[in-house]
Amino acid sequence: MDATPWEYAIMVWDGEGRDDYRIVRFSHRQAWSPIDGDAYMQTLRELGDEGFELVTHQFLIRGQYDRGGKHGESIRELLTFKRPLED
């Protein structure tokens, strides 16, 4: 049985803010960047339309903050996708 060659995509999403980091990197082509802050669902749809399936979805804590008495954690989403590599 032959092994299936895969193409991978990793979506990094820090949030919707103007200075937040958002990009999709691919294993076999150029990255999609920059991505608008309100394009989260659209980006997921486009990956699905291209045949990518979600493999993992991780929430990574980037750091903690204190903004005028509001405490919290800064979260980064890391989503990994794959699809069979086209010839």
What are the structural domain ranges in the chain? 6-84
Q: Which residues pair with 11 in a beta bridge?
A: 24, 79
14 against 83, higher pLDDT: 83
pLDDT at residue number 65: 64
The per-residue pLDDT for range 8-19, each reduced to its tens digit, is 999 998 877 777
The per-residue pLDDT for range 21-80, each reduced to its tens digit, is 889 999 999 999 888 888 999 999 999 999 999 999 999 877 766 667 766 777 889 999
pTM: 0.80
